[in-house]
Chain A
């Protein structure tokens, strides 16, 4: 009886098993790397209708975040400013700039400037800006160094694990309330004042929820 398979075929089943294991490992690694917000969201830098530079306004000119995002201390939402806020200065500063045309049109007609939202929480997440900034969580913790960005990009992942890192142990992320809007300020922990952070947590009864309904409802 003639041989159908050469002798080397005896090793083939094992070789196939090894190859499939390696291929499976590579596929798992690829999904882990690519399918989380660290890849899907981070780096999103949409083209805005007006090339507003945070690095100029918040960085170089030192305008406080709250000058434009005025509701951040008082409400769940950090408001995008109305065109009048821009016109407070730009009625005099660069009043003819073609780049500011959408702002002027919005101010005259009342039609909103179609800004593109960079950080969009899923609708099942109920995030409240005011409770965070009023207890020492700085803008920079979730938005990165916006004062150094020309066009804003999504700097942190905003995944649930990202939130829980801080909710489980907030001490390392807290600042003095006066430093919350100073994006270059170090955290209390980075200043070597971790004890002060723990004291604020006790004094203000900071109890970040870890239950589902704390953020989802």
Chain B
């Protein structure tokens, strides 16, 4: 009988030494107990595919694809026909000034929110070009020089859409309307950097320190 208990203890020790404890780091993929239901014959986003030659389940949109089943009246985004809103240009092809939608508090807050995710690492919280990438030798212009203060809103929109110099396109991260919100916030940063006491409403001046 004693031998039976000894072998049980040995078996437990063997199991623990092979299986380890919960939470230990392992580079091998988790064991799935019933893999037939866990892994069904379907594609999930960004998954791999053995069927397509490039190995991707996500299919790129073929060149020349046109959306259908919508109209420009019902959906302004259809075909992106509005050059001002989707390219930042006027009808004669020059950079548009102003905004395609009303600039209000909501738009500026949306712009600040997006700016602080996508622009701040390089341009800095104040738009002065002192983001974290400055420490890694990225050269980023300040928004507050005369050239960028005078730049048309449409050209700033175009820079976000297509990139410029070392800055790449952010069109994959910001929708056209989000880009306009960021442009509005960039304008607010520029305004703030050149603000004076006269810009502060008289009843708020006491809060300044």
Contacts and interface: CB of A to CB of B under 8 A. Distances in A.
Given A23-B8, A44-B30, A15 B1 contact: yes
A87 B167 CA distance: 10
A198 interface: no
B46 interface: yes
B25 interface: yes
Nearest to B41: A123
Contacts of B15: 30
B120 to A, nearest CB: 8
A92 B46 contact: no
A47 B27 CA distance: 6
B172 A88 contact: no
A43 B46 contact: no
A61 B121 contact: yes
Nearest to A22: B8
Contact of B172 (A40, A70, A111): A70
Contacts of A42: 22-23
Interface stretch (B133-141, B142-150, B196-204): B133-141
A127 to B, nearest CB: 11
B101 interface: no
Contacts of B168: 84, 87-88, 91
Contacts of B132: 61-63
Interface residues of B, number: 46
B92 interface: no
Interface in B150-181: 166-169, 172-173
Given A34-B19, A45-B25, A88-B168, A93 B138 contact: yes
Contact of A41 (B30, B117, B169): B30
B27 A67 contact: no
Contacts, number: 112
B38 interface: yes
Contacts of B55: 112
Interface in B1-49: 1, 4-5, 8, 12, 15, 19, 22-33, 37-40, 42, 44-46
B207 interface: no
B137 A40 contact: no
A210 interface: no
Contacts of A124: 37-38, 40
Interface in A57-91: 61-64, 66-67, 70, 75-77, 79-80, 82, 84-85, 87-89, 91
A125 to B, nearest CB: 9
Interface in A133-179: 153-154
A38 interface: yes
A84 B46 CA distance: 16
A35 B121 contact: no
B24 A93 contact: no
A6 to B, nearest CB: 13
Given A26-B8, A45-B27, A110-B54, 10 more contacts: A19-B8, A39-B22, A40-B33, A42-B22, A44-B29, A62-B132, A63-B121, A94-B136, A112-B55, A122-B39
30 contacts: A15-B1, A19-B4, A37-B30, A40-B32, A40-B33, A43-B23, A43-B24, A44-B27, A46-B27, A61-B121, A66-B118, A67-B117, A67-B118, A67-B173, A70-B173, A77-B45, A84-B169, A85-B172, A85-B173, A89-B122, A89-B133, A92-B138, A93-B137, A93-B138, A122-B32, A122-B38, A123-B38, A123-B42, A124-B38, A153-B25
